[in-house]
């Protein structure tokens, strides 16, 4: 144990140095309180022995300064003194002194006091280690919990690949926006989950209806559509831990100006998670569910946002055109349909990822590496869904894919992404 000894009497200081060094401790000597304080701040001792009466700064004042520090560990303080009256002793304990040594003392007494302090320090260390182990286990459980949630999302994708892939993208991107807004981890988890499942209330509706925008729906379809946030939120409301997710899902169709549904909330009345999912889901819906033909895209854009939008979005590549329109739609809806600060973060994130770029290529299954990301969903030869677009491959998933390849139920190569996913 490294021990700081603050003692202005050189004879006493040397005596303490010999005793403690002989017992295997490292000793740092300070000839006055000011020097002791400087050394303490520089080296971070766990145990200090202070003389009450010292030049510059006395022992009680130094003790108060140590206790005022916001430290990650406990400091055991022993005070040396000739003042053994009760008022003096109480003053020391009030300042945070752990133990006293009254001069003159026997070497064995100082050893006993040190051993007592070491027991306290060792106990704290053991408690800290156990706390860290609990935190580690808790983190593992949280990661397992989120992995299970993401697995459920993949099962939805098996039922409806288009809807499932779209919602998975919403979940992933919503979390990134939550983190960009510096929201707490638990809230970011809830926002990701809400993004992953915000449209499960649409499952079971006629397939053609799922590909329509609101303006294309008839009165009956619109009535069914406006019920889906309530249906989806009820699915999570019954699970205590996911009650926060329920509120986000319920409000993800509320507009910032109060014109949305189901409750006509506006501005800060709308949970921040719902404001994030609203903007992200509309962006992702365009790039995932809109048609692949240039003219069809332009017509749909004009119907939803006016013909003026096509003047600003003129790419001849369908994917690029859909992304241009999706970005422009966010700008048009900023501060009316969407929260402007959410739109700002989302557009920044989209720009960052576009500038970062990515490399997509076909890779032989035998050459797969950890960290590669599926650039399209992975299906068995008979068409059954296996893994979703956006899944990051790890050692276990690569091993399973290679085993399936040995059974000749997978093609030889899969399409993967190097670098960040495109948004």
User: What's the CATH code of the domain at 380?
Assistant: 3.90.105.10
56 and 23, same structural domain? yes
Is 388 part of any domain? yes
Domain end, chosen from 325, 356, 387, is at: 356
d(CA 21, CA 266): 70
Domain end, chosen from 322, 356, 390, is at: 356
d(CA 307, CA 206): 30
317 and 173, same structural domain? yes
What sign results for the dihedral spanned by CA atoms 233, 237, 241, 247? positive
420 and 286, same structural domain? no
Is 153 part of any domain? no
Is 145 part of any domain? no
383 and 351, same structural domain? no
* Confidence (pLDDT) at 357: 55
Is 76 part of any domain? yes
* Confidence (pLDDT) at 423: 58
C-alpha atoms less than 13 angstroms from C-alpha of 231 in its C-beta half-sphere: 13
363 and 351, same structural domain? no
117 and 6, same structural domain? yes
Environment class of 326 (CB within 10 Å of its CB; exposed 0-12, middle 13-18, buried 19+): buried
329 and 286, same structural domain? yes
CATH number at residue 279: 1.10.3210.10
pLDDT in single tens digits along all 423 residues of the chain? 899 999 888 888 888 899 999 989 999 999 988 999 999 988 889 999 998 888 888 888 988 899 988 888 889 999 888 776 677 678 778 888 888 888 787 888 888 888 888 998 888 888 888 888 877 877 776 677 777 777 677 666 666 777 777 888 899 999 999 999 999 999 999 999 999 999 988 888 887 887 888 999 999 999 999 999 999 998 888 777 788 899 999 999 999 999 999 999 999 999 999 999 999 999 999 988 888 889 999 999 999 999 889 888 888 888 889 999 999 999 999 999 999 999 999 999 998 876 655 566 788 899 999 988 888 778 888 878 788 777 889 999 999 999 999 988 998 888 887 655 455
380 and 352, same structural domain? no
CATH number at residue 15: 3.40.50.2300
* Confidence (pLDDT) at 353: 73
227 and 281, same structural domain? yes
244 and 225, same structural domain? yes
Does residue 275 contact residue 256 with C-beta atoms inside 8 Å?
A: yes
Counting the structural domains of the chain, the total is 3
Does residue 55 contact residue 7 with C-beta atoms inside 8 Å?
A: no
* Confidence (pLDDT) at 404: 92
* Confidence (pLDDT) at 159: 67
* Confidence (pLDDT) at 314: 84
Is 255 part of any domain? yes
Is 147 part of any domain? no
Is 136 part of any domain? no
Is 33 part of any domain? yes
d(CA 234, CA 58): 65
95 and 10, same structural domain? yes
Pairing label, strands 2-6, 47-51: parallel
314 and 166, same structural domain? yes
Note the residue count of the chain.
423
Range of the structural domain that residue 380 is part of: 358-423
d(CA 414, CA 112): 69
- Chain-centre distance for alpha carbon 320: 30
For residue 397, give the 3-state DSSP assignment: helix
Pairing label, strands 413-419, 373-374: antiparallel
């Amino acid at each position: 144990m490294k021990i700081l000894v603050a003692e202005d009497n050189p004879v006493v200081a040397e005596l303490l140095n010999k005793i403690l060094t002989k017992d295997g401790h490292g000793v740092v000597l300070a000839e006055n309180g000011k020097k002791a304080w400087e050394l303490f701040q520089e080296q971070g001792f766990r145990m200090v022995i202070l003389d009450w009466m010292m030049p510059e700064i006395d022992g009680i004042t130094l003790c108060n300064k140590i206790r005022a520090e916001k430290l990650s560990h406990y400091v055991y303080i022993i005070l040396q003194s000739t003042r053994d009256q009760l008022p003096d002793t109480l003053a020391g304990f009030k300042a945070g002194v752990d133990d006293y040594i009254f001069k003159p003392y026997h070497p064995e007494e100082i050893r006993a006091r040190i051993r007592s302090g070491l027991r306290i320090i060792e106990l704290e260390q053991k408690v800290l280690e156990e706390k860290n182990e609990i935190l580690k286990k808790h983190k593992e459980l949280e990661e397992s919990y989120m992995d299970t949630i993401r697995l459920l999302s993949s099962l939805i994708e098996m039922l409806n690949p288009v809807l499932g892939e779209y919602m998975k993208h919403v979940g992933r991107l919503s979390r990134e926006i939550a983190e960009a807004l510096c929201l707490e981890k638990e809230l970011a988890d809830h926002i990701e989950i809400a993004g992953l499942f915000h449209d499960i209330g649409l499952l079971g509706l006629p397939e053609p209806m799922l590909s329509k925008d609101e303006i294309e729906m008839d009165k009956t379809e619109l009535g069914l559509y406006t019920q889906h946030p309530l249906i989806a939120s009820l699915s999570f409301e019954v699970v205590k831990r996911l009650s926060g997710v329920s509120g986000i899902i319920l409000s993800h169709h509320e507009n910032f100006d109060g014109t949305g549904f189901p409750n006509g909330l506006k501005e800060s009345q709308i949970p921040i998670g719902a404001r994030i999912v609203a903007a992200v889901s509309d962006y992702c819906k365009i790039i995932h569910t809109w048609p692949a033909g240039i003219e069809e895209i332009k017509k749909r854009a004009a119907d939803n946002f006016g013909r003026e939008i096509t003047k600003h979005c003129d790419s001849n590549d369908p994917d690029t055109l859909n992304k241009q329109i999706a970005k422009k739609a966010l700008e048009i809806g900023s501060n009316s349909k969407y929260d402007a600060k959410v739109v700002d973060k989302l557009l920044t994130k989209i720009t960052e990822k576009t500038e970062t770029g990515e490399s997509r290529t076909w890779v032989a299954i035998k050459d797969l590496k950890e960290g590669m990301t599926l650039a399209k969903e992975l299906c068995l030869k008979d068409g059954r869904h296996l893994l979703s677009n956006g899944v990051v491959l790890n050692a276990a998933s690569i091993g399973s894919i290679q085993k399936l390849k040995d059974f000749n139920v997978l093609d030889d190569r899969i399409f993967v992404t190097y670098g960040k996913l495109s948004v």
